[in-house]
Structure 1
Amino acid sequence: MANDASTVVGTHSDPAAPLTLATAWRPIIAGSIGNTIEWFDWSIYTAFALYFGPQFFPSDSETAALLATFGVFAVGFGMRPVGGLLIGLFNDRVGRRAALTLTILMMALPSLVIGLLPTYASIGIAAPILMVLARMVQGVSVGGEYGAAATFLAESAPRSRRGFYSGFMFFSIALGLLFASALAWLLTSMLSKEQMIDYGWRIPFLIGSLGSFVGLWLRRSVAEPEAFKQQKLHAGPVRHPLRTLWREHPQALRRMVGISLLGAFAFYLFVSYIPVHAIRTSGAAPTVAYAASTLALAIFMVSQPLFGMFSDRWGRRPQLILFALGYLLLLYPVISMINASFTTILAVELFGLLFYGLYSSIAPAVKAELFSTDVRALGIGLPYNLVVAIFGGTTPYLMTWLQSLGHGDWFLFYVSGAALVSLVAFWRMPETNGQSLR
């Protein structure tokens, strides 16, 4: 019976076909579960950096130790294009399910290593070196995961429900972030600062590594999407995928850069920057700032499938244009209004995350609709991760550095420039809703 259900899901391509739990849940969960686990693992690094950073990157200055820790965060992001390339090639050649299995394994093992890793005081320079290597492997994993999950969700969806399916990608990412945030709140409430420094920070890494094996089991039980099976049956893998991608999809590659640029900033700006900004510049209590951020993230999570459904009905371009236009015109004035109150911080967070949600909910569908099946995972994974590595990966470091100089507002002008570039890309792109992926 399980195989029959998988087959129905894999071949579901009738635009008029009804969407039911029986046809939707298997690919949605399989495509999304890895994102929850991977982004839990990925985000706990920044959430607990204050406790473990000085133990691996000792310094007389707390800011210098924190910058070194975020530097490793940037190094991990630097490996994302490698993951987009290598796992994209593997995905298009071997299969969607195999790629999803590989990415989750590459997140689980480094998390286990970090959770058990001795500190600088115990093993000297080997401690930061091993930390960097573990983060590099995780960076490859996260880079491969985006293209793998986006491709799998888009190819598994009925043509008229592709936006809805894609909405679960960032739903699952937000869920992972909420788990990380909840665990951070729980541990810091139960343990003293000394206990957190001693052993508390290791707990989430060990939990993340165990959770990855649940995701591995779920992903191994799902069928290949029909679009990939037909490609493999009738044409097989291309001989020179990078050359094919460059020669046959040059316009799609340029669009990928413009489409991805603003999104690379927006996510980290409102998940990482705003709570810290409210605490440092407005005197907000940490509990108030993070409570508002957590509630906004929960609302963002619920909005994702809904925004995906809207795009299936009214198209992709209107949502994308509204996203970029909202950031271009309102980002600076809205963030300038922030103060120490819960209501104001929540309103600012909701502005940023819900406007961003117009894009994130349909990004997997939009990007999948730009490329042919034979190079789809590579076409999504490589350019997207290059943009994120260059711009998104340096965001925490750049924000921390500008804040230390007293020029935190400069970053907002930087993001506004990215909004203008993405707005032009959205305006010029064709409507792709309902397009066949075969």
Structure 2
Amino acid sequence: MTEQTDGPLRAPAQTTSRRRGVRQLLAASVGNAVEWYDWYAYSFLSAYFARQIFPAAAGQPLIPLLNTFAVFAVGFFMRPLGGLLLGSVADRIGRRGALTCTILLMGGGSLLMAVLPTYAQAGLLAPVLLVLARLIQGLSIGGEFAASTTFLVESAPPGRRGFFAGFQYVSTTIGQLLASGLTALLAVLLTADDMNGWGWRIPFAVGAVIALVGFWIRRAAEETHPAQAGLAAGRRPPLLEALRRYPRQSLLIGAVTVAGTVAYYTWTTYFPTYAQVNDGFPAADALLAGTIALTFFAVIQPLGGMLSDRYGRRPLLLVFAGGFAIGVVPLLGLIGSSWVTLLLVQCAGMVLLTGYTSIAAALNAELFPGHVRAAGIGFPYSLTVALFGGTAPYLATWLSAAGHPTWFPYYVAVLALFGFVVYWRLPETAHRPLDPGAGGRPL
């Protein structure tokens, strides 16, 4: 009798589990895509609105672009605060509440940029409001990574954390694709004067509207925080408990992130601008190549996550860091020959980069116990991204303006070599159970 009833009972349970997993992935991914669309729209549109907000200096045409990338970096320095504050919200009241909060902040920042006055209209108020909008978005995106990372990994069934974590960068890349694709489409449909004059506002307005859609979807998500979901009797941790009780894990997240964030922002965000500034590619051609490469990047993320579930996180990280340490200088040296070469170089870098991006969420979440997981990830991760990832476009542009464009690839290679050493000594976490408790155990 037992054998006759086990099958029918097990099948509905498996179906329910699969449906729950799909719902959780959609709730995390759709909202995350909206968040990152709003965040990345700035970088793709900066070349168009730079002169509207910052006046050009005589004989220095790169000054407005440098200023917009400086604001790009300023937004990054709000991310540690967002990771700490909103990560703490996720640990204290639940992941879902933090995720709905982050998307509202991001939509508000995007709306402010859509209606931003120009320097000619408002003088210094224009760049001040631009900085304010970017600070709001920086606060949001810092909390977004912390909350969505924990939400995705905690939603995963046993043995599938890497696969679920891969969707963190699938949705991130979809948001980036939407921003890049819409910018490229507008660049084709509008004249240069229209794009520089008012066309750049359209993607920001779209971002504000779709943020409301993401907010609605996230409200229906199922809570994954152990205490808030009723799975454990938890307590509300103090704001700095993760840093105080788990300093080694906090430092480890920073060390793991350095190479990954510089490579990521170089290859997925700054690459079109690098091709324009250093190799003379037209903006539309560079954006088109970037859009195709990002599509390829999104497709291969779950594959990287599945490989890490089977073989571990360390092998993929070592391939990523070793490949960039050896290959970044020759790869960036090749992009000037043709558009096809530009595309192939960017896709080759995307394959290597997947060794980091597809498993970053899983690895980070596996280092902390559940009661401080979001804040524990959010602050050290976002601080490292601010110091290294957020400054990468500005540093590369500054070196080009100073007459040293070839120095930046060596900077990336050195940080990748540092990452290789860190990953070599990293403990393997792929097959450990995810710690949901309030005590936790140091690595």
What TM-score do the two structures reach when normalised by structure 2?
Answer: 0.90
Q: Report the CA distance between 1:159 and its aligned residue.
A: 2.2
Instruction: Answer yes or no: is the 8 Å Cα contact 1:324–1:419 preserved in 2.
Output: yes
1:285 Cα offset (Å)? 4.4
**Residue type at the aligned position of 1:227:** P
Letter in 2 for 1:42: W
Contact 1:36 1:173 (8 Å CA) reproduced: yes
The offset of 1:199, in angstroms, is: 1.6
What CA distance in whole angstroms lies between the structure 2 residues aligned with 1:257 and 1:231? Answer: 32
Whether the aligned pair in 2 keeps the contact of 1:159 and 1:435 (CA below 8 Å) is no
Query: 1:413 and 2:410 equivalent?
Result: yes
Alignment of 1:10-409 (within 5 A): 21-60=18-57, 61-225=60-224, 227-229=226-228, 233-238=232-237, 240-242=238-240, 244-409=241-406
Moved more, 157-166 or 26-35: 26-35
Q: Mean alpha-carbon deviation: is it higher for 95-104 or for 313-322? A: 313-322
State the alpha-carbon separation in 2 of the partners of residues 129 and 337 from structure 1.
39
Q: Structure 1 stretch 395-404 or stretch 364-373: which is displaced more?
A: 395-404
Pair 1:251–1:19, CA change in 2 (3 A): farther
Report the aligned-residue RMSD.
1.9
Q: Deviations over 1:27-64 (max 9, x none)?
A: 11111222211221111112122222222222334311
Secondary structure of 1:159 counterpart: coil
Q: Secondary structure at the match of 1:434?
A: coil
Counterpart contact for 1:49–1:66, Cα < 8 Å: yes
Distance 1:345 1:187 in 2: 22
Matched-pair contact (CA < 8 Å) for 1:154–1:162: yes
Quick check: 1:47–1:184 contact (8 Å CA) kept in 2? yes
The CA distance in 2 between the partners of 1:215 and 1:37, in whole Å, is: 6
What is the percentage of aligned positions where both structures have the same residue? Answer: 45
CA distance 1:20–1:297, shift in 2 (3 Å): farther
2:88 counterpart letter in structure 1:
L
Q: Which residue of 1 aligns with 2:8?
A: none
When structure 1 is superposed on structure 2, of 216-225 and 426-435 the one drifting more is: 426-435
Give me the whole-angstrom Cα distance separating, in 2, the residues matched to 1:246 and 1:305.
Answer: 31
Contact map agreement 2:52 2:197 (CA 8 A) in 1 = no
Q: Check whether the contact 1:311–1:362 (CA below 8 A) recurs between aligned residues.
A: yes
Q: Distance in 1 between matches of 2:167 and 2:287?
A: 24
Instruction: Please identify, of 292-301 and 219-228, the stretch whose mean Cα deviation from structure 2 is larger.
Output: 219-228
- Give, in whole Å, the separation in 1 of the partners of 2:333 and 2:126: 41
1:241 to partner: Cα distance: 4.2
> What code does the residue aligned with 1:157 have?
A
Residues 171 and 301, structure 1, Cα contact 8 Å, conserved in 2: yes
Distance in 2 (alpha carbons) for counterparts of 1:261 and 1:281: 25
8 A Cα contact 1:30 1:222, kept in partner: yes
Shift, 1:312, TM fit: 1.1
- Which amino acid in the other structure matches residue 312 of structure 1? D
Query: Who is 1:8 aligned against?
Result: none
Alignment check: 8 A CA contact 1:231 1:374 kept: no
Residue pair 1:156, 1:226 contacting (<8 A) in 2 also: no
Contact 2:162 2:359 survives alignment (8 Å): yes
Q: Cα offset for 1:253?
A: 1.3
Question: How many residue pairs are counted as aligned between the two chains?
Answer: 421
Change in 2 beyond 3 A, CA 1:62/1:337 = closer
- Displacement of 1:224 in angstroms is 0.5
By how many angstroms is 1:169 displaced? Answer: 0.7
Task: From the superposition, tell whether residues 190 and 337 of structure 1 become closer, same or farther in structure 2 (CA, over 3 Å).
Answer: closer
Contact 2:82-2:143 within 8 A present in 1 as well: yes
Whole-angstrom CA distance in 2 between matches of 1:341 and 1:179: 25
* In structure 2, distance between residues paired with 1:291 and 1:134: 27
Stretch moving more, 213-222 or 309-318: 309-318
- With 220-229 and 250-259 compared, the bigger mean Cα shift is at 220-229
- Alignment deviations for residues 371-414 of structure 1 (CA, whole Å, 9 cap, x no partner): 01111001110000000111111111111110112212211121
Unmatched 5+ residue regions in structure 2?
A: 1-12, 437-443
* Separation (CA, whole Å) in 1 of partners of 2:272 and 2:339: 11
CA shift, 1:177, in A, is 1.1
**Using a 3 Å threshold, how does the CA distance of structure 1 residues 291 and 56 change in structure 2: closer, same or farther?**
closer
Q: CA deviation at 1:338?
A: 2.6
Equivalent-residue separation in structure 2 for 1:48 and 1:397 (angstroms):
15
Q: Is the 8 A contact 2:365 2:373 kept in 1?
A: yes
Alpha-carbon distance change, 358 to 17 in structure 1, aligned in 2, over 3 angstroms = farther
Given that residues 243 and 376 in structure 2 are in contact (C-alpha distance below 8 angstroms), is that contact kept between their aligned partners in structure 1? no
**In the TM superposition, what whole-angstrom CA distance separates every residue of 1:112-151 from its partner, at most 9, and x where no partner exists?**
1111122222222222211111110100001110111101
Shifted more, 99-108 versus 416-425: the winner is: 416-425
Q: Deviations for 1:263-291, whole angstroms, at most 9, x for unmatched residues?
A: 11011111233333334444444444333
Distance 2:14 2:330 in 1: 45
User: Aligned AA for 1:205?
Assistant: F
Is residue 94–residue 225 contact of structure 2 (8 Å, CA) maintained in 1?
A: no
